[in-house]
Chain A
Amino acid sequence: SSDLTQDPAVSVALGQTVRITCQGDTLRSYYTSWYQQKPGQAPVLVIYGKNNRPSGIPDRFSGSDSGNTASLTITGAQAEDEADYYCNSRDSSGNHVVFGGGTKLTVL
């Protein structure tokens, strides 16, 4: 198995850019995906693979990877982006899935 590490909380001023990171050795072998979860709602996929956005996700969301770190960047954060964000990936075996602990994003 493998652990994915995220900062518990991040804040950003309205309209500014924020980067949320996810670290883990398995990220050297597998791409990650990112999920936004608002209170009382199911998670929503915002970025997957090599910076792919599902239909309906604003283009202010983007993803990048470097070594053992994956990043989700929100360029021009909006009030509605305030949420918990989770990364996930395959573990070293490739057969299990691991999630990061989540990052609570506050938009000031």
Chain B
Amino acid sequence: QVRLVESGGGVVQPGRSLRLSCAASGFTFSSYAIHWVRQAPGKGLEWVADISYDGRNKYYIDSVKGRFTISRDNSKNTVYLQMNSLRPEDTSLYYCAKQLPGRGSYYDYWGQGTLVTVSS
């Protein structure tokens, strides 16, 4: 069955870095785009970034552009989110999600999320 497992979250001081991982199984990983979506405590969902199936195309929400980098290793079935210069407003539960084929923003599978807390 399809499974997405996020890891790498934790408590970090403002200005520091974290790298999140999303390990996938149960499907042909190299054929699908993967997205990161976050949810601040008690708040709604916010799209953060996505990467195409082959890693060539990457897009970011403006608030993280220049600070976050998304990448993937199709040999390891894993997507990464390198988060630098973290800010308190980046505190959220970070989900990775598998996109259905095509141009729609349709996520048929989600992980359970990894919590990032940015605090001094």
Residue positions of A touching B, CB distance < 8 A: 1, 30-31, 33, 35, 37, 42-45, 48-49, 54, 84, 86, 88-90, 94-102
Quick check: A99 and B104 within 8 Å, CB to CB? Answer: no
Residues of A with C-beta under 8 A to B62: 1
Assembly CA distance A42 to B94 (angstroms): 10
Residues of B with C-beta under 8 A to A88: 45, 47, 105
Assembly CA distance A44 to B109 (angstroms): 7
Assembly CA distance A75 to B44 (angstroms): 25
Q: Which B residues between 87 and 102 are near A, CB-CB below 8 angstroms?
A: 95, 100
Q: Size class of B's contact patch?
A: 20 to 34
Quick check: B104 and A90 within 8 Å, CB to CB? Answer: yes
B84 at the interface (CB under 8 A from A): no
Quick check: A98 and B103 within 8 Å, CB to CB? Answer: no
B27 at the interface (CB under 8 A from A): no
A93 to B, closest residue via Cβ? B59
A/B interface sample: 20 pairs, CB < 8 A: A30-B103, A30-B105, A33-B105, A35-B45, A42-B110, A42-B111, A43-B45, A45-B108, A48-B100, A48-B104, A49-B106, A84-B44, A86-B44, A88-B45, A88-B105, A90-B103, A96-B59, A97-B105, A98-B47, A102-B44
Residue positions of B touching A, CB distance < 8 A: 35, 37, 44-47, 50, 59, 61-62, 95, 100, 103-108, 110-113
Residues of B with C-beta under 8 A to A43: 45, 95, 107, 110
Q: Which of A30, A94, A97, A102 contacts B47 (CB 8 A)?
A: A97
B102 to A, closest residue via Cβ? A49
Quick check: B104 and A33 within 8 Å, CB to CB? Answer: yes
Smallest beta-carbon distance A28→chain B, Å: 15
Quick check: B61 and A96 within 8 Å, CB to CB? Answer: yes
